[in-house]
Amino acid sequence: MKHSSKPYIKYGDGYILLQDVVLPELPETLEMNGVTLQRKHEFHISLANVKRLATFIDASRVAQLTQELTEEFTAYVTEHSMLDYTLTNDFYFAQKDTRKTVVVLAKVPALRGFFEHIRKKYGRKDIPMLPTHVTIYSLDPNVGIGILSPAELKELGTKVKLPIKVAPRILNRTKFGHPLLRQKAKRLTKEEILSPEIQDLIASMRHTVVNRPYGVGLAAQQVGKDAALSLIAIKSTPTRPNRQPFESVIINPEIVETFGRRTGLWEGCISCGQGIDTLYAKVPRYKKVKLRWLDQNANEHEEILEGLPAHVAQHEVDHTNGVLFVDRVKDTTTYMMADEYRKRVVQKKR
């Protein structure tokens, strides 16, 4: 999914929204519970209705608290990105007085910290975390329903099934310095692998690799997710047209056997640069390894990999263990940026 360069907007009755959410093509109208709903023309994740929160905290100071909460939120999002989100496939038909809408729920992990902060600040442990959602249909395309709490969603809404799935989105990369890149990733159970959340993550990682120059591998930690999951996506390129394609989702990967000695092989990492600003160096790697992993259907594999797939697998297994390629560099004189690497290494090989 695409995001604008200014992801936070405020408009209407005290709403704070995350803009530019892209959904799959949808019919213009939807028949639901005897009424015809109109598709909205723009889709936004509703992060917070600060006016309703202000009313909940102290109905006698709504204007003052609305301003305070807006300022609190603005300060919070300068330190915590809201762009890491997941759209679920949970749809609700909600109605309040004459307003009727269909919404799809969203998960925005960083938002939890904001609500924890304001609960502490105002001494109100009962302040609910709003169900983040996207209104996709309504009677009036410009009118939605501000949902204050999960209990209110249950009261106002009915879960419905729609013949659509939300689109995979382009994920933002985490960069060197992010603590997640230094943590050992959470290993996934078979039930977790088959969950909608992980399946959606895999779909979005594939979508990201296809639509961004993110190299030949992408680990979940590199897109802000704590999961021992990587996507190997080796494909031919204009500079390497004879490269044999190889794609595999590897979950809980382990190198169970190595063959021969390690050799210095060139590699980089999208977490320490992008395009010509990517950092490269020679890293000692095995040219042949035996890898054990689970695939996206939770099936177990054990296979001997050689050449580039073996090289990429070692890099991705390192990511799941909180190890970065710079940790393994022995000859620090080999560090160079991508444009120099292409000029001095790739072109010489051709």
Tens of pLDDT, residues 265-297 = 999 999 998 888 899 999 999 999 999 999 999
Which of the residue ranges 55-59, 163-167, 168-172 would you say has the lowest mean pLDDT? Answer: 163-167
Domain positions in the chain: 8-160, 179-349
> Which has the closest alpha carbon to 50: 69, 63, 78?
69
**pLDDT value for 229:** 98
Q: In this predicted model, what pLDDT tens digit does every residue of 178-191 receive, in sequence order?
A: 999 999 999 999 99
Supply the pLDDT for residue 7.
41
Q: Give the dihedral of Cα atoms 256, 258, 259, 262; nearest 10 deg.
A: 170
Residue 25 among the catalytic residues: no
User: How far apart, in whole angstroms, are the C-alpha atoms of residue 134 and residue 24?
Assistant: 13
User: Which of the residues 72, 152, 267, 316 is marked catalytic?
Assistant: 316
DSSP string, 239-289: S-TTPPPEEEEEEEEEEEEE-S--EEEEEE-GGG--GGG-EEEEEEE-SEE
Tell me the CATH number for domain 179-349.
3.90.45.10
Q: How many helices (H) and strands (E) does the chain have?
A: 10, 17
On whether the CB atoms of residues 37 and 29 are closer than 8 A, the answer is yes
pTM above 0.75, yes or no: no
Q: Give tens-digit pLDDT for 290-335.
A: 999 999 999 999 999 999 999 999 999 999 999 999 999 999 999 9
Token pair in block for residue 348: 């010489």
**Could you tell me which of 343, 283, 292 has the C-alpha nearest to residue 313?**
292
